[in-house]
Amino acid sequence: MKLLGFTAALALATFAFSGPAAAAVETFDDPVATGSSQAPGTWYTDRYAPAGFTGGVAFDGREVLQVDISSADGAVDRPGAFSSAFYNTQGRKLDLAPNTTSMSIELYVDDAWAGSGRRMAGFWGTGFDGADVAAYPILEYVEATSGPGNFRAYEVTTGNWLDLGLPGGFAYDSWYTLDITLAGGMFTYTVGDQSVSTNANGATSIGNVILQGHNTSDGVDYSVRWDNFNAVPEPGTWALMILGFGLTGAAMRRRRVALAAA
């Protein structure tokens, strides 16, 4: 009975964190909820909404999230209030469970990007110190003008970019897992066998995830495919949840025993 109780508690904890508000695990097998403003379980606009943000798209033998960047949303064609280069970064964000300290996602590096010399895909977060924004951890893929591109990480305390290079065995038309972890006052960015750590500027949790594409002044057309997003609260949060569910389960069992004896 103890083993069954723990297993049930773990299952309940996992379910609680896999619901829309927490989105601990998102396989993108189905459409996703989008909106213009912040709401639970909703991918809401960050800076400027991309032309498409569609879950459940069949691609490469799986269902994925496809983010479409459109030439119609280049700076010269956007409304005047959004004409600056700031709004060339186009994406959506999703709020995460409290005390999230690690997140990962898979990115498809398309050979159609080769030689573009542009920022192609960004995996962002917002780091919080309590209720205050402390940092923006960013891990992105940037193309070169010739040859393969590069993964790079944002150093939040200096504003500099740190090159990770490419993981061993890199090839276009392949999936790569991008990971951002917050621990010991540092953000660690990892892609395959490449990793770098930077000061987290006092951040203690990651409050949301942001998936970005990048447009230009004249506008470009391309797609970014993402899959298998995973966000993990700090170990203490999981332990408290599991303990809470376990105690609830134990109380329910005691009540059933008492009713049976009555």
pLDDT score at 197: 97
Q: What is the mean pLDDT of residues 209-224?
A: 98
pLDDT tens string 146-175? 878 999 999 999 999 999 999 999 999 999
- Dihedrals phi, psi of 168, to nearest 5 degrees: -55, 140
Least trusted range by pLDDT, from 18-32, 42-56, 177-191, 200-214: 18-32
Average confidence (pLDDT) over 85-95: 98
Confidence of residue 24 (pLDDT cuts 50, 70, 90): confident
- Smallest Cα–Cα separation from 48: which of 92, 98, 110, 113? 92
**Backbone dihedral region of 115: left (phi > 0), alpha (psi from -120 to 50 degrees) or beta?**
left
Beta bridge partners of 152: 140, 163
Cα gap 11→38, rounded to integer Å: 29
Which tokens go with 21? 């508000």
What mean pLDDT comes out for the span 226-246?
68
Instruction: Look at the block and give the residue holding tokens 């230009």.
Output: 216
Determine which helix (DSSP H) or strand (DSSP E) holds 132, and give its type and residue range. Answer: strand 132-135
Q: Which SS3 state, helix, strand or coil, does residue 171 take?
A: coil
As a whole number of angstroms, the distance between CA 85 and CA 99 comes to 33
CA distances from residue 169 to 172, 174, 176, 248 in whole angstroms, order as listed: 10, 10, 11, 49
State the pLDDT at residue 193.
97
CB atoms within 10 A of CB 86: 10
Tell me the pTM. Answer: 0.82
> Mean pLDDT across the stretch 187-200?
98
Q: Is residue 240's pLDDT more than 80?
A: no
Share above pLDDT 90 across residues of the chain, in percent, rounded to a whole number: 79
Question: Does residue 27 surpass a pLDDT of 50?
Answer: yes
pLDDT of residue 233: 93
Using 50, 70 and 90 to split pLDDT, how confident is the model at 234? confident
Domains and CATH numbers, the chain: 21-234 (2.60.120.200)
223 CB burial (10 A radius; 0-12, 13-18, 19+): buried
CA–CA distance, 176 with 226 (Å, rounded to integer): 10
pLDDT computed for residue 259 by the predictor: 33
Residue 21 amino acid letter: A
Q: What is the pLDDT of residue 145?
A: 92
Q: What is the greatest pairwise CA distance in the chain?
A: 79
**pLDDT at residue 15 above 70?**
no
Q: Inform me whether the pLDDT recorded for 202 exceeds 50.
A: yes
DSSP 8-state assignment for residue 71: G
- As a whole number, mean pLDDT of residues 87-91 equals 98
* Interval 14-18 mean pLDDT: 39
Range of lowest pLDDT (25-34, 41-50, 233-242): 233-242
Q: For position 235, what pLDDT does the model report?
A: 67
Can you tell me whether residue 242 is helix, strand or coil? helix
